[in-house]
Structure 1
Amino acid sequence: MEKSSFADFLTCPSVLSAVFVGGCVLLLAYILKSFRNASTEEKDQSEPGSSTVERKKDSAVSKQKKKQNWTRSADQAYAQPWLLKTLKNHTGQVHTIDFSSNGKYLASCGEDRAVLLWDSKDLTQKDIKSLRVNIEFDHPTFVKWSPDSKAFIIHKFNENAIEVYKIEKKKDGWLGHATKALTFPKAHETDVIGMGIAGNGKYIMSCSNKTDLVVWDLKGQKLAQVDTYLMTTTCAKISPCGRFIVASGFAPDARVWEVLFSKSGEFQEVKRVFDLTGHSSGVYDVAFDADSSHMATVSKDGTWKLFDTKIEYKKGEDPHLKITGKYHQAAPHSLIALSPNAEVVVIATGSSLAFYSTLTGHHDYTIDNIYSGRITSVLFDAMGKYVLTSGDKYVRVFHNVTGYRCSIATAKDKLKQQQTSATKERLEKIVADCEAFLKTIEKK
Structure 2
Amino acid sequence: MADTGSGFSEYPLLVITLIVGATVLVLVYISSLLRSSKGEDDAKSAETEVSKKEKQRDTASSVLKSSKKKHSEKWVRDSKQSFSHPWLLTSLKGHSGEVLDMDFSSNGKFLATCAEDRSVLIWSTKNWNQKDHKSLRINIEFDYARFVKWSPDCKAFIIHKKAERVVEVYKVAKKPDGWISGVTKALTFLKHYEDDVVGLGIACNGKYIMSCSEKNELVVWDLKGEQLAKVDTYLMTTICAQISPCARFVVASGFAPDVKVWEVRFSKLGEFQQLSRAFELTGHSSGVYDVGFSADSSRMATVSKDGTWRAFNTKIEYEKGEDPHLLSSGKYNHVGSLSHLAMSPNGEVVVVASGSSLAFYSVQTGECDAVIDDIYSGPITCILFDSLGKYVLTGGEKHVRVFHNVTGYRTTIASIQGKIRQHISSAQKERMEQQIREAESFLKSIGERS
TM-score by length of 2: 0.84
Tell me if the contact between 1:261 and 1:267 (Cα under 8 Å) persists in the aligned partners: yes
Tell me which structure has the larger Cα radius of gyration: 2
Matched position secondary structure for 2:447: helix
Q: Which amino acid aligns with 2:106?
A: S
2:250 maps to 1:242: no
Paired residue for 2:17? Answer: none
Matched position secondary structure for 1:173: coil
CA distance in 1, matches of 2:346, 2:129: 22
66 and 220 in structure 1: CA distance in 2 versus 1, 3 angstrom threshold: same
* 1:251-290 matches, cutoff 5 A: 251-290=256-295
Q: Deviations over 1:152-196 (max 9, x none)?
A: 000001111100000111232211221111111111121000001
2:396 to 391, 394, 398: 391
2:140 maps to 1:145: no
Residue 68 of structure 1, CA deviation: 6.3
Tell me if the contact between 1:357 and 1:406 (Cα under 8 Å) persists in the aligned partners: yes
Residue 442 of structure 1, CA deviation: 2.1
Residue 75 of structure 1, CA deviation: 4.5
Paired residue for 2:318? Answer: 313
The two structures, once aligned, show a CA RMSD in angstroms of 3.2
2:107 maps to 1:95: no
2:76 to 62, 70, 81: 70
Paired residue for 1:46? Answer: none
Paired residue for 2:416? Answer: 411
Q: Which amino acid aligns with 1:266?
A: E
TM-score by length of 1: 0.85
Tell me if the contact between 1:375 and 1:391 (Cα under 8 Å) persists in the aligned partners: yes
Residue 69 of structure 1, CA deviation: 3.6
2:84 to 79, 87, 106: 79
Paired residue for 1:328? Answer: 333
Q: Which amino acid aligns with 1:322?
A: L
Matched position secondary structure for 1:98: strand
Residue 239 of structure 1, CA deviation: 0.5
Total equivalences in the alignment: 415
Residue 65 of structure 1, CA deviation: 6.1
Paired residue for 1:160? Answer: 165
Unmatched 5+ stretches in structure 2: 1-29, 50-60
Q: Which amino acid aligns with 1:310?
A: K
* 1:362-441 matches, cutoff 5 A: 362-441=367-446
CA distance in 2, matches of 1:367, 1:285: 20
Q: Deviations over 1:195-237 (max 9, x none)?
A: 0111100010110001101111100111111111111111100
2:140 to 135, 139, 144: 135
Q: Which amino acid aligns with 2:186?
A: A
2:228 to 223, 227, 252: 223
Q: Deviations over 1:50-83 (max 9, x none)?
A: xxxxx9xx9999788656643553256x211111
Please, which moves more after superposition, 304-313 or 158-167? 304-313
Tell me if the contact between 2:97 and 2:398 (Cα under 8 Å) persists in the aligned partners: yes
Residue 90 of structure 1, CA deviation: 0.2
CA distance in 2, matches of 1:443, 1:59: 43
Tell me if the contact between 1:375 and 1:389 (Cα under 8 Å) persists in the aligned partners: yes
1:115 to 103, 117, 120: 120
Paired residue for 2:23? Answer: none
61 and 383 in structure 1: CA distance in 2 versus 1, 3 angstrom threshold: farther
Matched position secondary structure for 2:446: helix
Paired residue for 2:343? Answer: 338
Unmatched 5+ stretches in structure 1: 1-14, 35-54
Residue 441 of structure 1, CA deviation: 2.2
Please, which moves more after superposition, 130-139 or 432-441? 432-441
Residue 377 of structure 1, CA deviation: 0.5
CA distance in 1, matches of 2:391, 2:247: 23
Tell me if the contact between 1:110 and 1:141 (Cα under 8 Å) persists in the aligned partners: yes
CA distance in 2, matches of 1:297, 1:310: 16
Matched position secondary structure for 1:442: coil
Tell me if the contact between 2:244 and 2:250 (Cα under 8 Å) persists in the aligned partners: yes
Paired residue for 2:185? Answer: 180
Q: Deviations over 1:342-380 (max 9, x none)?
A: 010000111111100001000111111111211111010
Paired residue for 1:355? Answer: 360
Q: Which amino acid aligns with 1:398?
A: F
Residue 390 of structure 1, CA deviation: 0.5
Residue 433 of structure 1, CA deviation: 1.8
Residue 413 of structure 1, CA deviation: 1.5
